[in-house]
Amino acid sequence: MARLIAPVLARLYLAVILVFLYLPIAVMMTMAFNTSPLYEFPFEFNLIWFKALFNNERLLSSSLNSIIIALANTLIATILGTMAALGLNRYEFRGRQLLELLLLPPITIPWLIIGVSMLIFFYWTGIGRGLHAILLGHVALSLPYVIIVVGTRLKTYGPTLEEAAATLGATPRQAFWRVTFPVLAPSIMAAALFAFAVSFDQFVISYFLAPPGISTLPVEIYTSIRKGFTPEINAISTLIILVSMGIMLLVARYYRFGGER
């Protein structure tokens, strides 16, 4: 009897967990398509809130800011991070472990603390607030992830392939572009997508570094939420969650979270 019931219960439990995880998102998406601005039922399908987005200048300009910053962040963090991963994993030197340990603070210290310390330091030194400051901050948050993702791949594929290439007469440059890079390509791709998502979804740091009048999409949404509910926020939030989940599905194609399964 127990043998028959246990698997059913197990599946039921996982289903409950999934419902809990996706319920609020589903409710929000439904409301984005509902006519009533006060979230009243009966549900009436309508696209007015999505249409309203295109007339909302502030949301449009902050979306553009977010996309520009995310793209710049992806480019910088992926290049610098891949270089650092190569340095950390292809050479043995004193202080290497310390350098790896230094990747932990940006990941583990709460963003609030990092955000206010950036605000203090940037303001104090004259770097100031603005899109450039937000970009500086986003790259800092993305770098450790890129270094870890690419580094994991480098650790799995030891230097033997490159050594073989060198033995066969390849110059270091040839060995890198013909051997190392193709091996790394999937993890670099995953890291780049990840860096894009980290920046596109980042709110806390942008919030402290955005001067009045300039904002990224999450900062703009937060301001609107604090001012009061508007169904347009549901519409833009629906789009954001689809984009950010889509990106993570792509990442999952190239990189397995939690190691081998």
Partner 1 sequence: MEGAAVRRYRAIFALTAPAYLWLALTVFLPLSAMIYFSFLTQAPIGGRAAEWTLAHYVAFFTKEVYWRNAWRSFELGLYVTALCLLFAYPAALILAKHVKGRWREALFLLVILPFWSNALVRTFSWTMVLRGEVGLLFTYWAIVIGLVHAYLPYAILTCYISLQSIDDSLIEAARSLGASPLQAFLRLTLPLSTPGILAGVILIFVPVIGSFMEPRILGGKNAIMLGPLIENQFTAVFNWPLGAALSFIILAIVLLILLAASPFLRRQLQ
Least distance in Å: CB of 29 to partner 1?
8
Choose one: 53-61, 98-106, 158-166, 178-186; the region binding partner 1 (CB under 8 A). Answer: 98-106
Choose one: 26-34, 45-53, 67-75, 173-181; the region binding partner 1 (CB under 8 A). Answer: 26-34
Produce one character per residue of 90-124: b if its CB has 16 or more CB atoms within 10 Å, e if not.
eeeeeeeeeeeeebeebeeeebeebbeebbeebee
Judged by CB under 8 A, how many residues of this single chain contact partner 1? Answer: 83
Query: Which stretches within the chain are classed as H helix?
Result: 2-32, 48-53, 57-90, 96-101, 104-108, 111-125, 131-156, 160-167, 172-175, 181-201, 204-209, 217-227, 231-254
84 binds partner 1 (CB under 8 A): yes
The answer to whether the CB of 180 falls within 8 A of the CB of 166 is no
Please provide residue 230's backbone torsions phi and psi, each rounded to the nearest 5 degrees: -135, 140
In angstroms, the CA 178 to CA 164 distance is 12
Q: Which of 55, 108, 160, 167 binds partner 1 (CB under 8 A)?
A: 108
Least distance in Å: CB of 258 to partner 1?
5
Tell which positions 207-226 bind partner 1, by CB under 8 A: 207-208, 218, 221-222, 225-226
Least distance in Å: CB of 201 to partner 1?
4
Q: Which of 19, 64, 116, 185 binds partner 1 (CB under 8 A)?
A: 116
93 binds partner 1 (CB under 8 A): yes
Tell which positions 123-142 bind partner 1, by CB under 8 A: 123-124, 136-137, 139-140
* Residue type at position 230: T
Least distance in Å: CB of 60 to partner 1?
18
Produce one character per residue of 13-29: b if its CB has 16 or more CB atoms within 10 Å, e if not.
eeeeeeeeeeeeeeebb
In angstroms, the CA 9 to CA 17 distance is 12
117 binds partner 1 (CB under 8 A): yes
113 binds partner 1 (CB under 8 A): yes
| 42: its two tokens | 């009966």
Choose one: 67-75, 143-151, 161-169, 179-187; the region binding partner 1 (CB under 8 A). Answer: 143-151
Site string for partner 1, 160-179 (x = CB under 8 A): --------------------
